Amino acid sequence: MNRIAVLTSGGDAPGMNAAIRAVVRSAVYFNLKVYGVYRGYKGLIEGNLIEMDASSVGDIIHKGGTILKSSRSEEFRTPEGRAKALKVLKEHQIDGLVVIGGDGSFRGAQELSEMGIKTIGIPGTIDNDLNYTEYTIGFDTAINTVLEAVTKIRDTSTSHEKATIIEVMGRSCGDLALYAGIAGGAESIIIPEEPGNIETIIAKIIQGKERGKLHHIIMLAEGSGNASDLQEKLLKQADVNARITVLGFIQRGGDPTSFDRILASKMGVMAVELLLNKKTNQVIGIKNNSLFNMDITESLTTEKTFNREMYKLNEILSI
């Protein structure tokens, strides 16, 4: 193992820069040459690589986004596209590749591993939708971004005595809505794992009004339906004129929290150590505050374990 490369792919997440920094600096520490691949697999196909050193990643640990940029590549999904990527890696004499991203990025790493390139995956996505690990890089920061918005929305909702639907990201995973909903004191949380029903939400709104509650925050995961449809149902069935706030891509930005910076730093160093130990087709995860590695294929087929205790916690606290 003499040369390695690192890329970020798919949706950006706060903490990716901290992971890039850890990969580059640990590679330098272990006397490896290290290259940064710009714009993910698209950039790899196009040969958009640059050699990096310790100074290349100075003053980035606190920054959101990714200095290596990110993109999605349809060409890489084809055998011809992957063959181009492999050729570029061979031309640069790169033995190992660290991929920071989500499930699609990991599948790309899996393909390259089968083609002879040693690959290690680091989970970077605000959705926390990689089932094998408790936390992904960027998830904690996204929760805090949502919380900041909820605090401000509650002020105006209380002033106007309104119910508010806050739609958050997460694709088919409800973790962001669940964790931010509990931490933000939401009265109702609607997630794909526990979609609930409109009658329960209406009953909570009425119950709240009867005891003098001036607002009702409904946290809606994007994978659970459309905010406008929910708004229409509330108006039609209960004469509740709810406001809608869709937080959108604001959830992906911002300076990473200390948790995400530390997690990314640990995972970046571990990725380089795994490559030095000739490991391949591996991903890094965290459980019970300890890092571990496992086969990419196994990680992608791991079934989600829904944290029902967290959901029950909100039921108890939101009365």
Catalytic residues: 127
Beta bridge partners of 51: 35
**Cα radius of gyration rounded to whole Å, the chain:** 22
What is the C-alpha separation between 133 and 302, in angstroms, rounded? 10
Pairing assessment for the beta strands 96-101 and 3-8 based on DSSP bridges:
parallel
What is the C-alpha separation between 17 and 12, in angstroms, rounded? 10
What is the C-alpha separation between 16 and 94, in angstroms, rounded? 21
- Give φ, ψ of 256 to 5 degrees: -65, 150
What is the C-alpha separation between 54 and 58, in angstroms, rounded? 7
**Max alpha carbon distance in the chain (Å)?**
71
> How many helices, marked H, and strands, marked E, lie in the chain?
11, 11
Residue 254 and residue 64 in contact, taking contact as beta carbons nearer than 8 Å: yes
Instruction: Count other Cβ atoms within 10 Å, centred on residue 100.
Output: 34
Instruction: Count other Cβ atoms within 10 Å, centred on residue 31.
Output: 7
Residue 261 and residue 15 in contact, taking contact as beta carbons nearer than 8 Å: yes
C-alpha distances in angstroms, 90 versus 46, 86, 95, 112, 116? 13, 6, 8, 12, 10
Q: Residue 303's Cα: distance from chain center in Å?
A: 17
- Give φ, ψ of 136 to 5 degrees: -110, 155
